[in-house]
Chain A
Amino acid sequence: MPNNNIDIINVIETQLKDKVQIQLGQLGKAAIVTNNGLHRDTLKAMVEADEKTAISAITGLDLGANIGVYYHIRTSNAFLTIKAEVPKDNPKIQTITDIIPGSAFHEMEVADLLGVVFEGNPSPGRLVLPENWPEGVYPLRKDFKANEVKLSPPKEEAKLPDEVKLVKIIIGPQHPALLEPEKFAVTVDGETVTKVEPRIGYVHRGIEKASESRTYLQDVYLVERICGICNSIHACSFVETVEKILKTEVPPRAKYLRVVTLELNRLHSHLLTLGHAGLEIGYETLFQYFWRDREPIMDLIELTSGNRVYSSLMTVGGVRRDLKDSDIPKIKSTLSELRKKLPFYRQIYEDEPSIKARMKNVGVLKREDALKLCVVGPVARGSGVDIDVRKDEPYEAYGEIPFKEIVYTQGDTWARMNVRMDEVEESINIIEYAIDHLPTGPFRVKAPRVVPAGEAVNRVEAPRGELFYYVKSNGTAFPDRVKVRTPTFSNIPAFLKTAIGENIADIPPNFVSLDPCFSCTDR
């Protein structure tokens, strides 16, 4: 059994005494300020001490003369930030991909948006910006001016070399299996996939930059629109981060109401994915069934918030609307109707031959790979890695609500879908418990108008996994930096790994089992 009681701060203190500066209580459990080069030693020490050490995000931020590179690390029981700085005129830092392979995408994003050169990163190149974006223009630097960007004409796509056996198949940007525009170049040898090259960034809108020119309250509206599926959780995470800077305590009733909203969001997101998986394996009846049962949940979101998709309930200091007592019977009856239907779906997933044939042993992600690639959410839990922010670092009212953490060990597509199936039931339990134990009192407190200078990190469990927010305030009406790392961003490496060596026809079910959301990923 893995040891969950490692004191990671102690490990760093003993191994790197006097070389690094440890600031307790900042940006998670502690912020470790490292001089150039020592971020690697610190990370190595952490990885050796704790197998669950994983990268949550890398934030790059413009600090004036320097560019800050903050590595946000989660271990089995703590969340830490390693701070490093590089000079702006020579922004070079050594890569950490050899220590934590899952960090490759994170580094590429910082390189794209801030121009930091990660020496030794195996795949330098564009990640989210267009291919014809001008060189030397970095949107997240403070001197960037959006109206001065001149894109060169789009490049003709390079002709593929004639290879004798290998065929390159381009999936996307417009493709029936993808709801969102993304491109995957899949190289196949016969029917077997040998290589997958992703090209994300088709939905990159520049929300992180846009949030710097809007006030905090306007940003709640903006970050909610990062994703139309898991919208409440984005808003919730942002307001929690701002509340941490403000040191505002949210009243208990608001905490429970937030839990209800977040779990309704999780319910509709999971039902959507379970149905979508049916569509991808050609089982359209299952798709229609799941989406039929999703509609009552959409009605509940509308009932509690007034809007079908964007609930817009979260605000700094609480929620914007109270739950009416007269709505509670309707919520309860809808949820119990859904609960009655779950055994039927479970049975389909257990017994149906087409589900078993297309999902079992497809896209197997082993536990050690899941740890190495730093995957999150149902993808990690389907591979036997028990991470769930709701349990590990309870936020809102999750610490007071009993619920089970669902873990499957098979690591295949089937296990990942079953994690979601079981979580649907857990979500119903959570909502019912929260409604039964709803505290009385105000649902909102007045938060200070002016946000003092400071910075905070926050993570929450979105339907797709751990969602990370970093907000830096400089005391003005606008945030200095908002960094969002969404769950799909961490989960894509898992698809790139598991697709290789499998049949090309297994790509759709494998891909959907990650529950990919690219509007989140690209922002």
Chain B
Amino acid sequence: MANIITWARVKSPWVLHFNSGACNGCDIEIVALLTPKYDVERFGVKLEPSPRHADVLLVTGGVTQQCAERLKRIYDQMPQPKFVVAIGACACSGGVFAGCYNVVGGVDKVIPVTAYIPGCPPRPEAILDGVVKLLNALSPPKPKKQPKQEKPPGLPKEEAKPEVAKQEAVAPQEVKPTVEEAKPDAKQ
């Protein structure tokens, strides 16, 4: 049973994107991932609008004071097990905005981070590679088929280090869709 859940999770990770004070550079690159040239949906990755259904939280930006509290709330709303990927130099360490009066400086100051993808902004291929590395780390140790990726020659050095927390070792909890609370961000 645990294997089935892991298999389902690895094959169709639902990601939630949250901009915690980024400049739009990384965010547009994440959206570009969905579009025909990169098309992450072929790996089963789906951008999910609600934190309650998401497995992976993609955070961009150096976390401003206003966003810190929101980021924590979104993280708390996600069902277990959950993974956080910090995308871009600002999300990793504060980047060029480190030391600004309204910037906390890095996602890991607020919530635990599973993987870091540096770059300003990282190329879509780098983000893709980081997510895939994260998924590989989650999957059971049996040899897995590596998803095919085209890497153009000019690909910057990619250093995603999925230091995966021990969450996958925990017995999989029931992922229950929470419905009792009205979503604060529901629009219609």
Please list the residues of chain A having a beta carbon within 8 angstroms of any beta carbon in chain B.
129-131, 133, 139, 144, 146, 149, 151, 154, 169-177, 179-181, 201-207, 209-210, 221-222, 225-229, 231, 272, 287-288, 291-292, 294-295, 298, 302, 308-310, 504-505, 517, 519
Contacts and interface: CB of A to CB of B under 8 A. Distances in A.
B29 interface: yes
A129 B35 contact: no
Given A180-B24, A181-B70, A291-B32, A130 B185 contact: no
A207 B51 CA distance: 30
Given A203-B64, A209-B100, A210-B97, A310 B25 contact: yes
B106 interface: no
Interface string B63-87: 0111101100010000000000000
B64 A173 contact: no
A205 B100 contact: yes
Contacts of B187: 169, 171, 175-177, 504
Contacts of A207: 97, 100
Contacts of B184: 170
B49 interface: yes
Contacts of A133: 65
B19 A181 contact: yes
B23 A228 contact: yes
B36 interface: yes
A295 B124 CA distance: 11
A174 B101 contact: no
Contacts, number: 149
A287 B28 CA distance: 13
A82 B67 CA distance: 36
A288 B35 contact: yes
B165 interface: no
Contact of A201 (B17, B27, B37, B66): B66
3 nearest A-B residue pairs (beta carbon): A228-B25, A176-B49, A291-B35
Given A174-B51, A209-B101, A210-B100, A203 B65 contact: no
B102 A204 contact: yes
A505 B31 contact: no
Contacts of A294: 32, 35
Contact of A203 (B61, B69, B123): B61
Given A202-B64, A202-B66, A226-B23, 6 more contacts: A170-B185, A176-B49, A181-B66, A203-B21, A228-B24, A229-B25
A206 B101 contact: yes
A139 B67 CA distance: 19
B157 to A, nearest CB: 14
Contacts of B62: 205
A228 B22 contact: yes
B49 A228 contact: no
A295 B61 contact: no
Contacts of A144: 101
B73 to A, nearest CB: 9
Contacts of B50: 176
A180 B25 CA distance: 11
A206 B101 CA distance: 6
Nearest to A291: B35
B29 A225 contact: no
Interface in B39-53: 49-51
A228 B27 contact: yes
A178 to B, nearest CB: 8
B162 interface: no
B2 interface: no
Task: Report the interface size class on chain B.
Answer: 35 or more
B26 interface: yes
Contact of B67 (A169, A181, A210, A227): A181
B160 to A, nearest CB: 18
A204 B185 contact: no
A170 to B, nearest CB: 6
Contacts of B70: 173-174, 181, 202
Contacts of A179: 17, 19, 24, 27-28, 31
A154 B25 contact: no
Nearest to B21: A203
B26 to A, nearest CB: 7
A172 B184 CA distance: 8
Contact of B36 (A170, A180, A203, A291): A291
Nearest to A298: B32
B121 A288 contact: no
Contacts of A229: 24-25, 28
B102 A225 contact: no
A519 B37 contact: no
B177 interface: no
Most buried by B among A207, A221, A227: A207
19 contacts: A146-B101, A154-B69, A171-B185, A172-B185, A176-B187, A177-B187, A179-B28, A202-B70, A203-B19, A203-B67, A205-B62, A207-B97, A207-B100, A225-B96, A227-B24, A288-B35, A291-B36, A292-B35, A294-B35
B120 interface: yes
A235 to B, nearest CB: 13
B28 A202 contact: no
A505 B101 contact: no
Contacts of A225: 23, 25, 96-97, 120
A75 B36 CA distance: 45
B102 to A, nearest CB: 5
Contact of A309 (B28, B36, B67): B28
A108 B74 CA distance: 30
A418 B150 CA distance: 36
B187 to A, nearest CB: 6
Most buried by B among A133, A221, A225: A225
Contact of A519 (B24, B36, B103, B186): B24
A202 B67 contact: yes
Contacts of A202: 21, 64, 66-67, 70
Contacts of A504: 187-188
B20 interface: yes
B35 A295 contact: yes
Contacts of B61: 203
Contacts of B26: 228
A205 B102 contact: yes
Nearest to B65: A130
A201 B103 CA distance: 12
A129 B102 contact: yes
A504 B188 CA distance: 8
